[in-house]
Amino acid sequence: MAEVIAGLRDNTIVARKKLDRRIASGLWLSAAVIRELEQHPERIRLLKGVLSEGDLVCYTLNTFPFGDFHSDRVKEQVYLPDWADPVRLDYTRRCSRLLAELMPAGVEGSLSTVPLGFKEFPRAADFQSRCIDQLLVLAESLDQLHDETGQVIRLAIEPEPCCVLETTREVLQFFDALYAAAEQRQQLEIARRHLGVCYDVCHQAVEFEEIADSVRQLNQAEVRINKMHLTSAVQIDAPRENAEARQQLAHFVEPRYLHQTFARSGEGSLVHQLDLTPELCLSPPETFASASAWRVHFHVPVNHEQFGALGTTRAELKAGIAAAAGLDYAPHLEVETYTWGVLPGEAPSSLADGLVKELAATMELMGPHRRETAVETGRENRVSE
């Protein structure tokens, strides 16, 4: 907990003061921190006090990483435990109870979580049904928490490349099965209220999905976007001819996080590699070399249109913000660049300065949509870092 407090004071509160606008703090609290807070309730009061002193609110938690997200090697371990494991359910429930204490009254909360599991891991034949069972138990728990506290908290399942849920089509198919199971158990209303998705724009851009169409499909299927991550991926156009960009991309290879890499041919077909490697960058196989574009799951600061010789998917970020503004509810909007510690190249003068640039750029992109939503619906999108 001391590390969380230090992060808030050294980075988030400093960024909030430099930005001179009120922002929310989207917290990640590992299972170890949650246990610490349960064992020492006075530290919850300390956390609330620090948020208050920084003029911050907290209404969203990242409950995707369970263990140490900043250890030397995270990679595929970040997807464990999966949603078939009771440990995942227990951790998420405990996070929901803490969030209910941290949230201001009258503000809805959200918890982002793993996309069920990782496709490369072995799974039992009943994996999906076990996930559904546990998600419906969580929905009941969140509904009961609302009855007890008055706080509405929604789960946001976050699709990601190479995971059990990665494409919009897979998400729609899963929610069809989830809703069917909920209806059989007379839990459909609770499931729709408390279960939805965390739409990470970087993730869907890496899949070369059309963001506006993807959001439209989810909305038509009544799959609620409870949280949207405003994020950008790395992009290379015409990789065969762009040796400079591929050489720069080789510097993005690092041992901590997984960087799923997708290539699209001129005809639109996709190939992918599970992680970025120097060999892929410098001596790509023909399926990658002949592609029209590559996109890499490496979150880069969202204020960049270019990153040296590399492009970014900032155009897709703009499409995501516009799509969110078109919904008849307001998802939580969170800038989620977690890669500062492994980002190659010249670092900002401080992490807080980097965050300020991201948030200022995001608010500028949101500007026209904020005015439109204020006039048409009287609602306001919220941005957190």
Is the peptide bond between 81 and the residue preceding it cis, with omega within 30 degrees of 0? yes
pLDDT at 382: 43
How far is residue 165's CA from residue 280's CA, in Å, rounded to a whole number?
Answer: 25
Above 50 in pLDDT, residue 375? no
The whole-model pTM stands at 0.94
Residue 269 included in any domain: no
What CATH code is carried by the domain that includes residue 20?
A: 3.20.20.150
The tokens 């090697």 sit on which residue?
73
Q: Roughly how many angstroms between the first and final C-alpha of the chain, as a whole number?
A: 18
With a CB cutoff of 8 Å and minimum separation 6, the contacts of 169 are none
Q: Please compute Rg for the chain using Cα positions.
A: 20
Residue 62 included in any domain: yes
Residue 152 included in any domain: yes
Q: What percent of the chain has pLDDT over 70?
A: 95
How far is residue 178's CA from residue 196's CA, in Å, rounded to a whole number?
Answer: 11
Residue 281 included in any domain: no
Q: Residue 41 is part of which domain span?
A: 2-233+311-384
Mean pLDDT value across residues 247-267: 95
Mean pLDDT value across residues 294-322: 96
Q: What is the mean pLDDT of the chain?
A: 93
**31-35, 277-281, 288-292, 341-345 — which is least confidently predicted?**
341-345
| Residue 12 per-residue DSSP state | I
The tokens 């919009």 sit on which residue?
168
Residue 248 included in any domain: no
How far is residue 255's CA from residue 167's CA, in Å, rounded to a whole number?
Answer: 26
The sign one gets for the Cα dihedral 320, 203, 213, 209 is positive
How far is residue 374's CA from residue 372's CA, in Å, rounded to a whole number?
Answer: 5
**65-79, 210-224, 367-381 — which is least confidently predicted?**
367-381
Above 50 in pLDDT, residue 372? no
Strand, coil or helix: 335: strand
Residue 360 included in any domain: yes
Residue 301 included in any domain: no
Over the stretch 89-125, which tens digit does the pLDDT of each residue have? 999 999 999 999 999 998 999 999 999 999 999 999 9
**64-68, 195-199, 248-252 — which is least confidently predicted?**
64-68
Above 90 in pLDDT, residue 72? no
Return the structure tokens found at 382.
């919220």
Q: What percent of the chain has pLDDT over 90?
A: 86
Above 80 in pLDDT, residue 70? no
Number of compact structural domains in the chain: 1
Residue 115 included in any domain: yes
How far is residue 245's CA from residue 226's CA, in Å, rounded to a whole number?
Answer: 36
pLDDT at 68: 74
Above 70 in pLDDT, residue 16? yes
How far is residue 354's CA from residue 231's CA, in Å, rounded to a whole number?
Answer: 14
- Band (pLDDT 50/70/90 cuts) for residue 370 is low
The tokens 């138990």 sit on which residue?
137
- The full DSSP string for 281-332 is HHS--HHHHT-SEEEEEEEE-TT-SEETTEEE-HHHHHHHHHHHHTSSS--E
pLDDT at 73: 79
**Helix-helix angle 31-39:86-102, to 10 degrees:** 60
Which residue type, as a one-letter code, is found at position 7? G
How far is residue 284's CA from residue 77's CA, in Å, rounded to a whole number?
Answer: 27
- Give pairs for 78-82: CB < 8 Å, separation 24+: 78/114, 78/257, 78/258, 79/114, 79/115, 79/117, 79/118, 79/121, 79/163, 80/118, 80/121, 82/114, 82/116, 82/117, 82/118, 82/121, 82/123, 82/127, 82/131, 82/164
Above 80 in pLDDT, residue 335? yes
How far is residue 60's CA from residue 129's CA, in Å, rounded to a whole number?
Answer: 27
Return the structure tokens found at 350.
């401080």
pLDDT at 383: 47
pLDDT at 376: 31
Mean pLDDT value across residues 204-231: 98
